[in-house]
Structure 1
Amino acid sequence: MQLARILGVDEKCLGTEIDPASWLGQRAQKLIRIYQYLSARAGNDDAGVSQWMRTSNRRFGCSPRERLQKAEGLDEVMAYLESLL
């Protein structure tokens, strides 16, 4: 499952409560912030967010969705979006 790969956990962990102060909680919060930032930039248009996530990005050499599935990808996508502020 993509979410488990992005968060770097086993799929079984997704059905449990996540402590916001834990490593997993911090990663989940970054993913939420990425979505919130993209949603605001796209005018709350989920199709626009989805398109950005699927489209190849020169900074990553792949789509942001693909990049997020690598260990350091969450931090890289977050840093890229923060650099646009």
Structure 2
Amino acid sequence: MVSISGSGKGTGRATARPSAKSNVPRTLEAANPAALPAAAAVLTKATLRAAALLGLSNAALARVVGVSESTVSRLASGQRALEPGTKPAELAALLVRLYRSLDAMVGNSDRQRQLWMASYNRAFNAAPKDAIESADGLSRVLRYLDGARAVV
């Protein structure tokens, strides 16, 4: 919002004053879910769906993408979105990539996908669902899946 200030004798100047209600969503936040930018909305929806299909709880998803559980609840309700270019969005995109890689290996079997995520794996010295709670672990699991898919 721009307002004009001055004495009224042609000496007014334009000054920028923030409006009380801005239509531009802040990072990870939007007042109206319908106003979310398309990329943020798509990434948020894909992340929530991937987490559910991988058998991750809201608490686990929060640890994977580095946000609070309440933020994950707001993501699920449409009050917030993962803005592209932020660290949580980058981690969320990796989680979606992990889901797609694992889905390509086990097919559309929710049971197999969730069993793989929950089972101990010597390559990670942990279950993948636990390993992905750090950025390094998420990267290691992705490299593992990429390597397993590349075997001919």
Structure with more of its chain in strand, by fraction = 2
Match in the other structure for 1:73: 137
Runs of 4+ in 1 over 6 A off after TM superposition: none
What is the Cα deviation at residue 59 of structure 1? 0.5
TM-score computed with the length of structure 2 as normaliser: 0.52
What is the Cα deviation at residue 60 of structure 1? 0.6
| 8 Å CA contact retained: 1:5, 1:69 | yes
| 8 Å CA contact retained: 2:65, 2:92 | yes
Structure with more of its chain in helix, by fraction = 1
Looking at structure 1, the residues matched to 103 and 110 of structure 2 have their Cα atoms a distance apart, in angstroms, of 7
Which of 76, 79, 82 in structure 2 is aligned with 1:18? 82
- How is 1:36-55 mapped onto 2 (pairs within 5 angstroms)? 36-55=100-119
| Identity across the alignment (%) | 33
TM-score computed with the length of structure 1 as normaliser: 0.88
Indicate the RMSD between aligned Cα atoms, in angstroms: 1.3
Aligned length: 85
Radius of gyration: which is bigger? 2
Match in the other structure for 2:29: none
Relative contact order higher in (CA < 8 Å, ≥ 6 apart)? 1
Match in the other structure for 2:60: 2
What is the Cα deviation at residue 71 of structure 1? 4.3
Amino acid at match of 1:6: V
